[in-house]
């Protein structure tokens, strides 16, 4: 089992609140990702990082921001939550440049509900 | 744009029947991975295919990568109730970020 953690697991907040979803991995992986997934639906990449001080936007437009100050930590922040942000947020990590296999290890996810 | 299409969206089978899900890309993929997500869980890596025409087996699961590296399939022989979940393919176009298919939700009736 992979060592990648997300907190909180569940979050219910009101509109307009600022929130930060935490993601940490202890595998020393360079690549980290944030996906948004509605129940039973496909995964949409919203942010990714190749390493410290590297962040890129994914294909799904998102009002969130990320930072990568430490290898093991990749938090996602919503400055002003809206009901349209209600979803599950999955964090993942993978090794970079270590041969052909680029397995993504997923965290347990954060289920966010914005009222 | 770059996109990975996956069919079918749902599949209901009787236990013991076979199951297949297909992924297709309009442009050549660098590699493709398969993941399984149990209900309420997170995606778990199953396998990666890189070479043209590659076939890999894991017990009752057979994975194929097309000759042109534009399509892939996952076949499960004699499904069991433990196979229930959503199966996703995810491909890259230059070993960069992954593009996930929409997933096939498998339900197995005992």
Buried b (16+ CB within 10 A) or exposed e, A10-33: ebebeeeeebebebbbeeebbbbb
Kindly report the number of other CB atoms within 10 A of residue B1's CB atom.
6
Does B100 touch chain A if contact means CB atoms closer than 8 Å? yes
Phi, psi of B36 (to 5 degrees): -120, 135
Indicate the domain borders of chain B.
4-109
The CATH homologous superfamily of the domain defined by B4-109: Immunoglobulins (2.60.40.10)
Chain A residues near residue B50 by CB distance under 8 angstroms:
100
**A41–B102: do the CB atoms touch at under 8 Å?**
yes
Q: Profile chain B (110 residues) by mean pLDDT over runs of 10 residues.
A: 88 97 94 94 93 96 97 98 96 82 96
Mutate to test the interface with A, among B43, B47, B86, B104 (most CBs of A within 10 A): B43
**A106–B43: do the CB atoms touch at under 8 Å?**
yes
Give me the pLDDT at residue A99, please. Answer: 47
Does B31 touch chain A if contact means CB atoms closer than 8 Å? yes
Indicate the domain borders of chain A.
14-114
What are the pLDDT digits (tens) for A39-97? 878 899 999 998 999 999 987 777 899 999 999 999 999 999 999 999 999 999 987 65
CATH code of A14-114, in short, is: 2.60.40.10
């Amino acid at each position: 089992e992979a060592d990648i953690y997300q907190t909180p697991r569940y979050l219910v907040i009101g509109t307009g609140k600022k929130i930060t979803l935490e993601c940490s991995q202890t595998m020393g992986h360079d690549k980290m990702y944030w996906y948004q997934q509605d129940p039973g639906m496909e995964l949409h990449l919203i942010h990714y990082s190749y390493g410290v001080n590297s962040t890129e936007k994914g294909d799904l437009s998102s009002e969130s921001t990320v930072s990568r100050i430490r290898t093991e930590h990749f938090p996602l922040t919503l400055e002003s939550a809206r009901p349209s942000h209600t979803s599950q947020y999955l964090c993942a990590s993978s090794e970079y440049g270590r041969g052909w296999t680029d397995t993504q290890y997923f965290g347990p996810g954060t289920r966010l509900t914005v009222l | 744009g770059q996109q990975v299409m996956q069919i079918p969206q749902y599949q209901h089978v009787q236990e013991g029947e076979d199951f297949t899900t297909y992924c297709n890309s309009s442009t050549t993929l660098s590699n493709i991975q398969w993941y399984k997500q149990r209900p309420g869980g997170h995606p778990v890596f199953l396998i990666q295919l890189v070479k043209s025409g590659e076939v890999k087996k894991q017990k009752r699961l057979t994975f194929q990568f097309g000759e042109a590296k534009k399509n892939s399939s996952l076949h499960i022989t004699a499904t069991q109730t433990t196979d229930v979940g959503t199966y996703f393919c995810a491909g890259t176009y230059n070993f960069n970020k992954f593009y996930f298919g929409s997933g096939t939700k498998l339900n197995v009736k005992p």
